[in-house]
């Protein structure tokens, strides 16, 4: 860490480590110094302060400590199932102890009839409680077992364990460090902030984290370190934002001219919702400030983000600039392109589509027209960010369904202009506010919080697959009314062959009730070539077919307003975000729409919760919240690649209050002393000087 301090001491100099173990620590955990070691936090604690009576142990996989007398051993099973078992009895009850490995060692060293202190994870099988591979310690007669209190458990690698660098080793090293003369951890938050936020000192907190003496103090320590973690994340977000504002000159789109006005008057097929008008205003405002726009446009599925993007692109055009819109899949890109062509028909504005399957010849022509400025709006997939794609004057980049694009790709995009273009990121996977602040804290956020009027709430139901005849009768009626229907099957992981097979089986089930040719089918799956997908999509869109049988390739953004029923088969296999996206394919027209979630066997608790949530609400934000609670923020779409959620301690599901407090503290500090020149802010200045991220971050737009 800093100032050539104690924390910089190479780890091999610590008692109990030495050069060989130090090598392992370096290699396995990147621990080079004492400071590194101390910031390798325990990930949980075992409570050794209490010895439970066996009768009080419930099921539910928990670690706990018990003591009792060992029964005689029994060797049972053969081969891989061979195991050594015995009972531990404490007068209130008994529990089985099991070993699958190290059998002869255990046999030799543990003595039936003696009293042992036992620690391990209790599991239940057919009503019987047991602990596999417990930690055991002999209690000598007339001797009380040593009080251990809270024991930290460190993240370790297998390779470390193989070399006996286990948790005991880690605890010992941390104890040795804490006991060294000169052990001192400098504070990295200003004193006034500690006082205002009621936080404990860093030295105390880190010591407590490694050697907690009671749960209350541990919590104070964690609180302090979580605040610190979130505070520096927010500082970095805010600095990045202001760095961009200071150093990057944004294009100024002053004019709102004939393209925008002409379109608005003559081509816009509907009145914008107030929410759309509001966000459009926010975008327009960004584009005249002389700063680069970096805005996240959130809006639930079907809220009408595309038209907002198109209007923004027309403003760019009015100011002499080209735009591009990038989508995550070819289907979506060609749909955007089709929408654009339809809407812009008769305006004379030239648009083009560039994807991975654009032919070489077309691509060459397109690239030339892009360079000459003839093409005003380019739609496409990742193909847009390839190196040879050069614009004459790129002014606005729209990224649709951002959760599939990483931060690095954003950065790559803006290098395409001689000056940085404005950036509008759109997402239909709404994310909870806390998550947005953690992941997109450097972006401005606009939200479309209203659906176009006239939409009816989608009716969502959960049905068992033994009611299929009824479900199919319903489909028959809807098709008779002229509606169209989606039937979606889960994707079988990484196996296009199996995907097709399961889809064909699914199709046969449906076709049995609704036989072709009376009912006309489209089919969409991952194995089709993009052009074939387009044709299938096109047939469904033009109502040449009634029923679309598909895998999740139709998930994002597909728009067929006449489709009114979405049947999701094996709905338990889908994640919440996916279910919400799929449901969003219906309810796009004026008709009443339905989503039928079909499941077969028994549901896991999480699957049940997902389905109940879908039935209970259509609010994407609420759904996202439940999703985050079920899966954890790290698993949510987009956050994994973003690399911005490297939070070691904080859990933004639980630490919202701390997150908000840290954001406010960061804002206040930057407002008051952006360069940290005041003496009381010196700790922040020092800390930031250590963070290597900054250089990288400043390149990311
Ligand atoms: P999303 O926000 O999910 O991307 P889209 O932009 O695809 O939604 O819009 C969904 C549908 O709603 C499209 O058919 C679009 O034409 C239509 N739409 C958008 N805005 C309005 C509006 N203000 N009034 C009526 N329909 C609208
Ligand atoms: Mg969309």
> Cα separation of 69 and 67, whole Å?
7
Residue 347 lies in a domain: yes
Residue 175 lies in a domain: yes
Task: Give the H or E element holding residue 326.
Answer: strand 322-326
Residue 325 lies in a domain: yes
| Residue bearing the CA closest to ligand 1, atom 16 | 304
pLDDT in tens, 388-431: 888 999 999 999 875 545 455 566 666 655 578 899 988 876 66
For residue 559, report the distance from its CA to the centre of ligand 1, in Å.
9
Q: Would you state the structure tokens that stand for residue 591, as one six-digit string?
A: 């008709």
Q: Which of 167, 184, 201 is at the close of a domain?
A: 184
Q: 56 and 34, same structural domain?
A: no
Closest atom of ligand 1 to CA, residue 584: 3
Q: Give pLDDT, residue 628.
A: 76
Q: Give pLDDT, residue 700.
A: 41
Q: 38 and 156, same structural domain?
A: yes
> Cα separation of 672 and 257, whole Å?
40
Which residue do the tokens 């584009």 mark?
287
Structurally, the chain folds into a number of domains equal to 4
Confidence of residue 209 (pLDDT cuts 50, 70, 90): very high
Closest atom of ligand 1 to CA, residue 561: 14
* Contact present, 296 and 402 (Cβ < 8 Å): yes
Mean pLDDT of the chain: 86
Q: 390 and 471, same structural domain?
A: no
Least confident of 20-29, 473-482, 574-583, 604-613: 574-583
Burial of 419 per CB tally in 10 Å (0-12, 13-18, 19+) = middle
Backbone angles phi, psi at 228, to 5 degrees: -60, -45
Q: What is the mean pLDDT of residues 243-260?
A: 86
Q: Give pLDDT, residue 492.
A: 61
Host domain of residue 531: 459-617
For residue 398, report the distance from its CA to the centre of ligand 1, in Å.
16
Closest atom of ligand 1 to CA, residue 588: 11
Q: Quickly count: other Cβ atoms within 10 Å of residue 332's Cβ.
A: 22
Q: Which ligand is nearest to the CA of 430?
A: 1
Whether the per-residue pLDDT at 101 is higher than 90: the answer is no
249: CB partners within 8 A, 6+ apart: 290, 291, 292, 419, 420
Q: Give pLDDT, residue 244.
A: 75
Q: 494 and 423, same structural domain?
A: no
pLDDT in tens, 277-328: 999 999 999 999 888 898 989 888 788 999 999 999 999 999 999 999 998 8
For residue 299, report the distance from its CA to the centre of ligand 1, in Å.
11
The alpha carbon of residue 78 and the mean position of all alpha carbons in its chain are separated, in whole angstroms, by 44
Q: Give pLDDT, residue 227.
A: 96
Closest atom of ligand 1 to CA, residue 270: 24
Q: Which of 264, 267, 306, 340 has most ligand 1 atoms within 8 Å of its beta carbon, as the pocket-test mutant? A: 306
Q: 590 and 469, same structural domain?
A: yes
Q: Which of 617, 651, 669 is at the close of a domain?
A: 617
Q: 74 and 38, same structural domain?
A: no
157: CB partners within 8 A, 6+ apart: 28, 29
- Enumerate residues with CB within 5 Å of ligand 2 (an ion): 557
Q: Which of 275, 277, 304 has most ligand 1 atoms within 8 Å of its beta carbon, as the pocket-test mutant? A: 304
Q: Would you state the structure tokens that stand for residue 395, as one six-digit string?
A: 């002014």
Q: Give pLDDT, residue 644.
A: 43
Whether the per-residue pLDDT at 649 is higher than 90: the answer is no
* Contact present, 491 and 578 (Cβ < 8 Å): no
Residue 629 lies in a domain: no
For residue 409, report the distance from its CA to the centre of ligand 1, in Å.
27
Q: Would you state the structure tokens that stand for residue 135, as one six-digit string?
A: 């930690």
Q: Give pLDDT, residue 261.
A: 94
CATH number, residue 62? 2.40.50.140
For residue 302, report the distance from its CA to the centre of ligand 2, in Å.
7
Q: Give pLDDT, residue 413.
A: 63
Residue 444 lies in a domain: no
Q: Would you state the structure tokens that stand for residue 286, as one six-digit string?
A: 């960004």
Q: Would you state the structure tokens that stand for residue 130, as one six-digit string?
A: 């047991």
pLDDT in tens, 316-374: 999 999 999 998 878 788 889 988 999 999 899 999 999 988 999 999 999 999 999 99
Least confident of 18-27, 199-208, 215-224, 377-386: 377-386
Q: Quickly count: other Cβ atoms within 10 Å of residue 85's Cβ.
A: 16
275: CB partners within 8 A, 6+ apart: 299, 303, 447, 448, 449, 450
> Cα separation of 340 and 352, whole Å?
9
Residue 686 lies in a domain: no
Angle subtended at Cα 173 by Cα 170 and Cα 176, rounded to the nearest 5 degrees: 150
Q: Give CB contacts under 8 A, 24+ apart, made by 450-455.
A: 450/273, 450/274, 450/275, 450/303, 451/273, 451/300, 451/302, 451/303, 451/304, 452/270, 452/273, 452/302, 452/303, 452/304, 453/273, 454/590, 455/302, 455/587, 455/588, 455/590
Q: Give pLDDT, residue 695.
A: 39
| Residue bearing the CA closest to ligand 1, atom 26 | 452
CATH number, residue 420? 3.40.50.300
Confidence of residue 527 (pLDDT cuts 50, 70, 90): confident
Q: 398 and 279, same structural domain?
A: yes
Q: Give pLDDT, residue 669.
A: 97
Whether the per-residue pLDDT at 693 is higher than 80: the answer is no
Whether the per-residue pLDDT at 639 is higher than 60: the answer is no
> Cα separation of 19 and 11, whole Å?
8
> What's the number of CA atoms in the CB half-sphere (13 Å) around residue 256?
14
Q: What is the DSSP letter of 648?
A: S
Whether the per-residue pLDDT at 678 is higher than 60: the answer is yes
Residue 373 lies in a domain: yes
Cα distance between the two ends of the chain = 29
The binding-site residues of ligand 1, defined as CB within 6 angstroms of any ligand atom, are: 270, 272-273, 276, 299, 301-307, 428, 452, 557, 559, 561, 588
Q: 18 and 113, same structural domain?
A: no
Q: Which ligand is nearest to the CA of 325?
A: 2
Q: What is the mean pLDDT of residues 490-504?
A: 71
Q: Which of 560, 588, 617 is at the close of a domain?
A: 617
Backbone angles phi, psi at 181, to 5 degrees: -65, 140
Confidence of residue 595 (pLDDT cuts 50, 70, 90): very high
Cα–Cα nearest to 189, from 696, 675, 662: 662
Task: Give the H or E element holding residue 596.
Answer: strand 594-599
Q: Would you state the structure tokens that stand for residue 323, as one six-digit string?
A: 């735009």
For residue 308, report the distance from its CA to the centre of ligand 2, in Å.
11
Q: 482 and 584, same structural domain?
A: yes
Closest atom of ligand 1 to CA, residue 305: 2
Closest atom of ligand 1 to CA, residue 301: 3
Whether the per-residue pLDDT at 107 is higher than 70: the answer is yes
* Contact present, 120 and 54 (Cβ < 8 Å): no
Residue 442 lies in a domain: no
Q: 80 and 43, same structural domain?
A: no
Q: 55 and 38, same structural domain?
A: no
Position with higher pLDDT, 369 vs 61: 369
For residue 558, report the distance from its CA to the centre of ligand 2, in Å.
8
Whether the per-residue pLDDT at 179 is higher than 50: the answer is yes
For residue 561, report the distance from its CA to the centre of ligand 2, in Å.
13
Cα–Cα nearest to 337, from 329, 587, 527, 561: 329
Q: 467 and 525, same structural domain?
A: yes
For residue 327, report the distance from its CA to the centre of ligand 2, in Å.
9
């Amino acid at each position: 860490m800093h100032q050539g301090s104690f924390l910089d001491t190479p780890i091999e100099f610590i008692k109990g480590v030495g050069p060989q173990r130090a090598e392992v620590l370096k290699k396995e955990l990147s621990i080079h110094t004492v400071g590194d070691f101390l910031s390798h936090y325990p990930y949980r604690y075992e409570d050794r302060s209490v010895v439970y009576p066996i009768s009080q142990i419930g099921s539910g996989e928990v670690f706990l400590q018990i003591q009792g007398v060992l029964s005689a051993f029994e060797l049972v099973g053969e081969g891989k199932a061979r195991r050594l078992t015995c009972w531990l009895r404490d007068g209130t009850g008994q529990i089985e102890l099991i070993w699958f490995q190290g059998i002869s060692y255990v046999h030799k060293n543990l003595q039936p009839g003696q009293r042992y202190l036992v620690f391990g994870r209790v599991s239940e099988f057919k009503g019987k409680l047991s602990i596999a591979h417990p930690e055991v310690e002999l209690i000598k007669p007339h001797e009380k077992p040593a009080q251990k209190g809270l024991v930290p458990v460190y993240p370790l690698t297998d390779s470390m364990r193989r070399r006996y660098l286990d948790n005991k080793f880690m605890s010992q090293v941390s104890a040795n460090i804490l006991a060294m003369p000169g052990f001192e951890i400098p504070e990295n938050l200003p004193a006034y902030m500690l006082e205002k936020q009621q936080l404990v000192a860093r030295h105390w907190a880190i010591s407590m984290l490694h050697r907690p003496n009671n749960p209350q103090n541990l919590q104070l320590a964690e609180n302090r370190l979580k605040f610190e973690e979130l505070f520096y994340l927010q500082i970095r977000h805010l600095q990045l934002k202001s760095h961009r504002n200071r150093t990057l000159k944004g294009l100024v789109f002053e004019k709102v001219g004939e393209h925008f006005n002409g379109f608005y008057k003559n081509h816009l097929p509907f009145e914008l919702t107030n929410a759309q008008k509001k966000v459009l205003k926010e975008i327009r405002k960004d584009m005249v400030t002389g700063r680069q726009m970096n805005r996240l446009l959130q809006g639930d599925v079907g809220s009408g983000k595309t038209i907002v993007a198109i209007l923004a692109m027309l403003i760019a055009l009015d100011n002499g600039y080209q735009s591009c819109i990038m989508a995550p899949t070819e289907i979506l890109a060609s749909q955007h392109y089709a929408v654009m062509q339809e809407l812009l028909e008769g305006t004379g504005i030239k648009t083009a589509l560039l994807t991975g399957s654009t032919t070489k010849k077309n691509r060459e022509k397109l690239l030339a027209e892009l360079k000459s400025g003839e093409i005003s709006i380019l739609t496409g997939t990742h193909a847009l960010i390839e190196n040879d794609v050069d614009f004459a004057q790129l002014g606005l980049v729209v990224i649709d369904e951002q959760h599939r694009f990483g931060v690095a790709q954003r950065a790559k995009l803006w290098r395409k202009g001689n000056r940085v273009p404005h950036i509008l990121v759109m997402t239909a996977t709404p994310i909870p506010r806390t998550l947005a602040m953690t992941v997109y804290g450097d972006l401005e956020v606009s939200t479309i919080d209203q659906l176009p009027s006239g939409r009816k709430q989608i009716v969502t139901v959960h049905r068992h697959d033994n009611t299929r005849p009824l479900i199919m009768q319903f489909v028959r009626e809807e098709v008779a009314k002229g509606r169209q229907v989606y039937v979606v099957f889960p994707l079988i992981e990484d196996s296009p062959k199996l995907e097709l097979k399961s889809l064909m089986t699914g199709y046969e089930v449906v076709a049995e009730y609704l036989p072709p040719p009376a009912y006309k089918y489209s089919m969409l799956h991952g194995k089709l070539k993009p052009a074939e997908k387009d044709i299938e999509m096109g047939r469904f869109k033009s109502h040449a077919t009634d029923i679309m049988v598909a895998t999740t390739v139709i998930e994002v953004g597909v728009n067929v307003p006449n489709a009114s029923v979405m049947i999701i088969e094996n709905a338990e296999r889908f994640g919440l975000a996916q279910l919400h996206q799929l449901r969003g394919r219906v309810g796009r027209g004026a008709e009443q729409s339905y989503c039928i979630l079909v499941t077969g066997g028994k549901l896991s608790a999480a699957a049940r919760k997902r389905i109940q949530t879908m039935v209970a609400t259509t609010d994407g934000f609420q759904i996202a919240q439940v999703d985050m609670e079920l899966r954890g923020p790290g698993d949510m779409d987009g956050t994994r690649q973003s690399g911005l959620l490297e939070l070691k301690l904080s859990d933004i599901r639980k630490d919202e209050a701390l997150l908000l407090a840290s954001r406010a503290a960061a804002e206040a500090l930057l407002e008051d002393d952006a360069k940290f020149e005041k003496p009381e802010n010196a700790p922040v200045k020092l800390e930031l000087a250590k963070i290597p991220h900054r250089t990288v971050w400043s390149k990311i737009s």
